[in-house]
Amino acid sequence: MKILKPTIFTIIAFGLLFAWLFPQFLWCFFVEYDSFQEIKPNIFVEEKTSKMQQDSLLKFVENAEKRLKTFWGGKNGQAKIIFSKNATTYHKYAKTNEGAGFSIGTPLGSWIILNQDGLNVDVIAHEMCHDELMTNLGWWKTKKEIPTWFDEGLALMLDYRFVSSQDSIERYIDYRTELSYLSPVPIPLTELNTQKDFFGQGELFTKIAYFTSAVEVSRRISLKGKKEIFSIIKKTEKDGKFEF
């Protein structure tokens, strides 16, 4: 009993600290006790969500999972999906009004929060990819070692909103072309390592950051295939150090 007490105390203390620093975590953790309906295991919709939207969500989740499995070769992530039909609820759970979807990963669980713009396969697959990376590497290694540009660039490989080509070489060329329209000089990757770096400098900067990240990841895939990306992830898991 004496051995267990410090462990239990540490877990409780960590949980309280995390909830204080990230209140949206608490909302997500207890989503089933809020005004949400679980329409399928781990898929929650806000009350008064129409049957058409519920059916669309289920269809898009199914297609996003297929896309994820095709890219990753399987699915290990178990993020709960929360659909918010109004902006106020979305902000409460995601702590932002921006974007169509937002993912939260913690040692105690992970969640994907969607608003009405997130009712499409691209947004859901994008967020699922974030969760899959964290699940495969573990929360600590992901937060400590994975730069935001790699996380976002990888997620864009499953997100066809900006470039739709499925051929790896053509996809890289298209991303590079789109980036050249936005900026003649890409942002150095060293300036895109953290979420603050990536998202904290204005809408145009973030858009350029997305395309810069997508160019780097798609370039590596076009040269050596997806196996190169998974080799980098596995090496990070083994050695505890990210090297691209």
Domain range list for the chain: 21-137, 146-244
pLDDT at residue 237 above 90?
yes
* Residues β-bridged to residue 114: 83, 101
Residues 6+ apart with CB under 8 A from 159: 122, 123, 125, 126, 129
Instruction: Kindly report the number of other CB atoms within 10 A of residue 86's CB atom.
Output: 12
Report how far Cα 152 is from the mean position of its chain's Cα atoms.
8
* Top-tier CATH class for 21-137: alpha beta
Strand 101-106 to 109-114 pairing:
antiparallel
Q: Tens of pLDDT along 192-230?
A: 999 999 998 899 999 999 999 999 999 999 999 999 999
Integer CA distances (angstroms), 236 to 220, 232, 241, 244, in order? 16, 6, 5, 10
Q: Tens of pLDDT along 23-82?
A: 788 899 999 999 899 999 999 999 999 999 999 999 999 999 999 999 999 999 999 999
